[in-house]
């Protein structure tokens, strides 16, 4: 479920149960962009087992055409300690292991140590594919009418 260099991320069994049993995907990456936490919800949503995801880079989730912008935003958030998307849910394209088109609602938070230093990023994600495709179909219908 989780690894974090030099630390035990899930300090108690209760924390482990919460992370594993939540329906939404929970992903935690360290400041270098290495995935350290990948729960069951992430396995279901993205199709990658925890053993495949943990230790991988965030490129696992980011489609190639978005990687440059993602990497820039990630580095900027780590360096400044501020997220451009703080407090908002962002719907974006993501990768699924089987290659299918996936739209995901993400919310992000910076993970800071007791001194306020950014040590990683936390993302909670939910499948938004059906909703997104319905919105696109509605817009297309409206433009034809």
pLDDT digits (tens, 9 = 90+) for 81-121: 999 888 899 999 999 999 988 999 999 999 999 899 999 99
* pLDDT at residue 105 in the model: 96
pLDDT of 123 strictly over 60: yes
Residues 6+ apart with CB under 8 A from 108: 77, 83, 85, 86, 90, 121, 122, 123
Across 6-20, 23-37, 94-108, 109-123, least confident range: 6-20
Give the bridge partners for 50, in sequence order.
Answer: none
* pLDDT at residue 120 in the model: 96
DSSP designation for 100: -
pLDDT of 128 strictly over 60: yes
- Mean model confidence pLDDT for the chain: 89
pLDDT of 39 strictly over 90: yes
Average pLDDT over residues 17-35: 93
* pLDDT at residue 1 in the model: 52
pTM of structure: 0.83
Residue 27 — pLDDT band, cuts 50, 70, 90?
very high
List domains and CATH numbers for the chain: 13-144 (3.30.450.20)
Radius of gyration of the chain (CA): 16
* pLDDT at residue 141 in the model: 81
| Nearest C-alpha neighbor of 34 from the set 59, 9, 17, 51 | 59
């Amino acid at each position: 479920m989780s690894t974090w260099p030099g630390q035990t991320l899930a300090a108690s069994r209760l924390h482990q149960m919460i992370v594993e049993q939540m329906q939404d995907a929970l992903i935690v990456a360290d400041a270098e962009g290495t995935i350290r936490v990948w729960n069951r919800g992430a396995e279901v949503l993205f199709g990658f087992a925890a053993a495949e995801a943990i230790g991988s880079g965030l490129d696992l989730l980011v489609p190639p055409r978005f990687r440059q912008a993602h990497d820039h935003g990630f580095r900027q958030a780590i360096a400044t300690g501020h997220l451009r998307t703080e407090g908002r849910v962002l719907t974006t394209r993501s990768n699924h292991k089987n290659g299918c088109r996936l739209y995901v609602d993400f919310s992000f938070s910076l993970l800071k140590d007791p001194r306020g230093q950014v040590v990683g990023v936390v993302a909670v994600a939910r499948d938004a594919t059906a909703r997104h495709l319905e919105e696109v179909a509605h817009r297309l219908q409206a433009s034809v009418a």
